[in-house]
Structure 1
Amino acid sequence: MSAIDDVLSAAVEAGDVPNVAAIVGDRNGVIYEGAAGPRVAGAADPVGVDTHFRIMSMTKIVATTAALQQVEKGTLDLDAPIASYCPEFADVQVLDGWDGDTPRLRAPASQATVKQLVTHTSGLGYWFWSEDLVKWEAATGTPNVLAGANVIFTAPLLADPGTRYIYGINTDWLGKVVEATSGVTLDVAVKDGITGPLGMGETEFQLRDGWSGSTTPVHLKGEDGTWAASEIELNQQPEYYAGGHGLYSTPRDYIKFQRALLGGGELDGTRILQQSTVDAAFTNQIGDLSFPEAIPTADPTSTHEFNAGPGYKWGYGLLLNTDDVPGMRRAGSGAWAGLCNTHFWVDPTTGICASIYSNFLPFVPPEALALYASFEKAVYASLSS
């Protein structure tokens, strides 16, 4: 798999990313590990597969798994209204327009369900892909979700439940549902049900003492094209555990979770989900709705426009491609990414899973997307050689 090493090195040498680590697994174990570049731009310490990254929205499928475990235990009904578990959700209204700079709100046409949180069809959004939410946050003085403050749960719906796929703070609400049904905080639910059983000792919601020398910072590119470490960091004393973005992990740790999904919910004899539940996670759960082909940015400092293209659906916590991608993942693969530029996929048909990591902003610049595609093509080429 030396061709993969070449892809990673070339991207760092070209300045496309500040650093990169990647890992590939199959149902039997890890089959590739590689990395290129420094852990901190300008320093000598190399990045690696044991480096800690902010995995941001790669947290979502972990929190979703915690919710699905509650479903299997019989304590959570996906079809139940969110407000039956979190009564405060009954106060969430739909943003229906503006009277000047004053938001116009109304009651939703129906009660949003827990399943709609899992599938991002509740109507909740994110500021970086919604100009209305950017304006609402400014008008109300409400910080965005990365602040780690409970006030973010006052954010309105952008559409009536069940009418559109809108990517948003759904999984943060889902974390609240997990807490209500499990009787423990989300960090404990994740540790007891997922990271503990799978031996993921390097995955946590907050930076642990001693990780300073193994964590890569969020990098920003200067006007001269060089990368530099920033002071950007997640709130280390949050008011809630963010099921939507809160985890730190390493490539070696997260691949254990990916391999558990690839194994139908089981890793090396340890089962975290039933096969039927995993099958449902990899099945279209949004019906005739589709993941948007293109999503314009509402905050260019956070993300570029996101262009998925046609033919994508959403399962439970996973983006699903409905067609084979030539030279890459097969139809029915599940994937997602994190805002600071981490990406993963699980391909049950081919029998592999992989992930690629860096930490920088904004999300998905064209040169980084080119790296991810080159990495994936090199992975599949190595399998067929």
Structure 2
Amino acid sequence: MDQARLNRIKPWMQTYVDERKYPGCTVLLKQGGKEVFYHETGLRDVASGAPFARDTVARIYSMTKPVTSLALMMLVEEGLIHLDAPLSAVLPEFAEMYALVDGATSIDQVERCTVPTLHQAVTHTAGFSYPFNPGVLPKAMEEAKLMFAASEAGLAEVTQNLAKLPLAFQPGARWEYSVGIDVIGRVVEVVSGQTLDAFFKSRIFDPLGMTETGFAVPDGALDRFASLYTPLAAGAMSLDNAGDKSADTLRCVDIAEKSPFRAPKTLSGGGGLVGTIDDYMLFCEALRTGGQGLVSGSTLRFMMSNHLPGDIASMGPSSFAEQPMTGMGFGIGGATVLNPARTRTPSSVGDFSWGGMASTFFWIDPMHDISAVFFTQLTPSSSYPARAALKALVHGALS
């Protein structure tokens, strides 16, 4: 990699901070296991002036999903569950399922449907949704406050409440970004006999040396926990970036002292983890190098393959997604590039990636042996096109 070209990332990051788009941010790149770039700039807390540094603890939100997906595949490898099993084989609350009829305008317009499989839940094809998506089911989820957020009830109770609602569509019919991997988190608990935080710690975090990642801010790290900001006037998780703008592009919506991540009630396998950039790089490197004993290299290749009939766009989604939909497939817990030209972002075939609602992002490039992690704390992640720009900057440094 051309170091002079990599250094273009520094002024690009600084511009985001100077223009008050991001409070602060960090970028960490490794190639072939060797660190080739790191830079930090800006603040983790604007009010106090505390810097956004390498040891800053941040909300990674949906970058939790690949961790939960790996946990599922560990259980699959051990023969404790299989991906085509219906959810009801583990979670009886899903035994009788209904889906909204095509064109439904109210939540009671339903028909019987099959029980979604674990594979459909982990690939967002089960028929679940998110409150911020458009449609009848998302509206009902919003009214019921079903987001699997840290401040909700316990994971078992939230999952049971979700099972009372119909699916947005017949399982397997479409792709829609959803709480499916939160449900998988509950599956991991039941199959393993451990709470999700205990499984993650004993089976993933401790073996990889991820000492500062968890569902709660680590002991002694509260002073390093970043504040969360939004450019929106209300609804920090809203995806309507065309309106509802705040006069302050960095309106603070969560501070360390009052954050639900101090003592979360729901262990969200879809979005509940906090941690440092170096910790998440350890996870990325485990995926890049073949599992480091957590799972086999063969299982990882299976995870990072496309599990859809075509790209995401071919499955007609209307939902929000952390990635482009054209030219992009979806594996077990993350997106995979099928055709870089169709994604309109410089990338490699086989790139595996995902992001979080606070604008964090990672990708693994098997072709160039690259692991890349970007941290900031601004929601929603659709506010600015930083992810595509960062990938272009990195590819601009490749020969």
TM-score category (smaller protein): 0.7 to 0.9
Matches within 5 A, 1:118-197: 118-137=122-141, 141-146=144-149, 147-149=151-153, 150-151=157-158, 152-154=161-163, 155-197=165-207
Task: Judge which range, 115-124 or 208-217, deviates more.
Answer: 208-217
Structure 2 portions without partners, runs of 5+:
1-5, 234-245
- Spell out, residue by residue over 1:37-64, the C-alpha distance to the aligned partner (whole angstroms, 9 max, x if none): 1111243221022111110000000000
Equivalent of 1:312 in 325, 328, 341: 328
Equivalent of 1:204 in 194, 209, 214: 214
Which AA in structure 2 matches 1:277? T
Could you say what the CA RMSD is over the residues aligned between the two structures, in angstroms? Answer: 2.5
Q: What residue is the counterpart of 1:33 in the other structure?
A: 38
Task: Judge which range, 110-119 or 60-69, deviates more.
Answer: 110-119
Task: Judge which range, 342-351 or 96-105, deviates more.
Answer: 96-105
Deviation at 1:84, TM superposition (A): 0.6
Which SS does the other structure have where 1:196 is aligned?
helix
Q: What residue is the counterpart of 2:110 in the other structure?
A: 105
Deviation at 1:32, TM superposition (A): 1.5
Q: Does 1:6 align with 2:15?
A: no
Equivalent of 1:374 in 381, 389, 393: 389
Q: What residue is the counterpart of 2:51 in the other structure?
A: 46
Q: What residue is the counterpart of 2:358 in the other structure?
A: 340
Equivalent of 1:248 in 258, 264, 274: 274
Whole-Å separation in 2 of the counterparts to 1:102 and 1:334: 35
Q: What residue is the counterpart of 2:64 in the other structure?
A: 59
Matches within 5 A, 1:230-241: 230-231=253-254, 233-234=259-260, 236-241=262-267
Aligned residues: 369
Whole-Å separation in 1 of the counterparts to 2:357 and 2:349: 24
Which SS does the other structure have where 2:340 is aligned?
coil
Which SS does the other structure have where 1:353 is aligned?
strand
Deviation at 1:182, TM superposition (A): 1.1
Q: TM-score, normalised by structure 2?
A: 0.85
Q: Determine if contact 1:114/1:174 at 8 Å carries over to the other structure.
A: yes
Whole-Å separation in 2 of the counterparts to 1:132 and 1:327: 33
Structure 1 portions without partners, runs of 5+:
298-302
Matches within 5 A, 1:62-77: 62-77=67-82
Which SS does the other structure have where 2:355 is aligned?
strand
Q: What residue is the counterpart of 2:239 in the other structure?
A: none
Which SS does the other structure have where 1:37 is aligned?
strand
Equivalent of 1:258 in 262, 277, 284: 284
Deviation at 1:306, TM superposition (A): 6.7
Whole-Å separation in 2 of the counterparts to 1:14 and 1:48: 19
Whole-Å separation in 1 of the counterparts to 2:388 and 2:208: 29
Q: Determine if contact 1:56/1:244 at 8 Å carries over to the other structure.
A: yes
- Spell out, residue by residue over 1:193-252, the C-alpha distance to the aligned partner (whole angstroms, 9 max, x if none): 211100000100112332221111111236334423223744655444211001001111
Query: Could you tell me the percent identity over the aligned residues?
Result: 28
Q: Determine if contact 1:318/1:335 at 8 Å carries over to the other structure.
A: yes
Q: What residue is the counterpart of 1:300 in the other structure?
A: none
1:111 to 1:328, Cα distance in 2 relative to 1, 3 A: same
Whole-Å separation in 1 of the counterparts to 2:247 and 2:105: 40
Which AA in structure 2 matches 1:255? M
Whole-Å separation in 2 of the counterparts to 1:138 and 1:323: 35
Q: Determine if contact 2:94/2:115 at 8 Å carries over to the other structure.
A: no
Deviation at 1:83, TM superposition (A): 0.7
Q: TM-score, normalised by structure 1?
A: 0.88
Which SS does the other structure have where 2:207 is aligned?
coil
Q: Determine if contact 2:137/2:167 at 8 Å carries over to the other structure.
A: no
Deviation at 1:288, TM superposition (A): 3.9
Q: What residue is the counterpart of 2:119 in the other structure?
A: 115
